[in-house]
Amino acid sequence: ELTRGYFLEHNEAKYTERRERVYTCMRIPRELEKLMVFGIFLCLDAFLYVFTLLPLRVFLALFRLFTLPCYGLRDRRLLQPAQVCDILKGVILVICYFMMHYVDYSMMYHLIRGQSVIKLYIIYNMLEVADRLFSSFGQDILDALYWTATEPKERKRAHIGVIPHFFMAVLYVFLHAILIMVQATTLNVAFNSHNKSLLTIMMSNNFVEIKGSVFKKFEKNNLFQMSNSDIKERFTNYVLLLIVCLRNMEQFSWNPDHLWVLFPDVCMVIASETAVDIVKHAFITKFNDITAD
């Protein structure tokens, strides 16, 4: 027993594979962060598009609509399908913008702050689940509206009409905006509470993700879908953290010293999110024999 060998040379393929798994796990952080950075820039591009290019596109579409008599009615379509979609997006954005003015942020903040830590933890979990459900169903609602508005008129009508679809889309965007606002408010309460127990509990919530996903069977397509979800989640968290920082800076008259008070907590939240993603992806690729590439 003291001098026996391990017969490593007789199982070369097995031990080589084990070594490659270790190297794959070591490569995952770099490969994952490259994907995350690329995905976050895509999200940022889509987010900024709404406030930069979309108003210009809406202006061009309306300009074409008002100057149509000058060109005559040579084209059967008043507007191109893309222009119809642009106008619908712009109108939804403006309506929801004015509707959000009637939501009292201060009342919401004090209502949430008055709840116990455990109740807030449950609320935050419910908000995360609701956000994912809203995102999934909301995209279908918006796509249904765009297709209903631009569908060729020769086809047999198989829908309830553009106006009902439009009101459904406005209601969805408004409700989802309130949900994001409540998420930001809950995070703000966690940052401003005297003891950081709520923030710690919310961060530990990320580690539950590992338990829920690591031991499941994953194909490459499923892993890609999960990566997309992680990118969107991380981008949303960055936006929420930015909202929290801006609200707190506003409360302290934009004093830069207060930013350094918030900075450690912000770094802690980002670091925990990054660590969870790395561990989750490393073990999923290990258990499912997927390469880092």
pLDDT in tens, 66-118: 887 776 556 566 788 888 999 999 999 999 999 999 888 888 888 888 888 77
Residue 16 or 28, more confident: 28
pLDDT given for residue 30 in this prediction: 92
When pLDDT is cut at 50, 70 and 90, the band that residue 232 belongs to is very high
pLDDT in tens, 139-155: 899 999 988 888 777 66
The predicted model gives 120-126 an average pLDDT of 82
Q: What percent of the chain has pLDDT over 70?
A: 93
* Rounded CA separation 233/216 (Å): 20
Residue 21: DSSP 8-state: H
Residue written as token pair 């690591």: 214
| Residue 234 lies inside a defined structural domain of this protein | yes
| Residue 3 lies inside a defined structural domain of this protein | no
| Residue 130 lies inside a defined structural domain of this protein | yes
| Residue 235 lies inside a defined structural domain of this protein | yes
Residue 281 or 198, more confident: 281
How many domains is the chain built from? 1
| Residue 197 lies inside a defined structural domain of this protein | yes
Give the structural domain span for 262.
8-288
pLDDT given for residue 36 in this prediction: 95
When pLDDT is cut at 50, 70 and 90, the band that residue 35 belongs to is very high
Q: Beta-carbon neighbour count of residue 222 at 10 Å?
A: 14
| Residue 57 lies inside a defined structural domain of this protein | yes
pLDDT in tens, 169-210: 999 999 999 999 998 888 888 888 766 666 777 677 777 777
When pLDDT is cut at 50, 70 and 90, the band that residue 265 belongs to is confident
Tell me the DSSP string of 9-75: GGGHHHHHHHHHHHHHHHHHHHHHHHHHHHHHHHHHHHHHHHHTHHHHHHHHHHHHHHTHHHH-S-S
Residue 156 has pLDDT above 60, yes or no: no
Residue 52 has pLDDT above 80, yes or no: yes
| Residue 293 lies inside a defined structural domain of this protein | no
C-alpha dihedral, 133 to 139 to 142 to 146, nearest 10°? -160
Residue 38 has pLDDT above 90, yes or no: yes
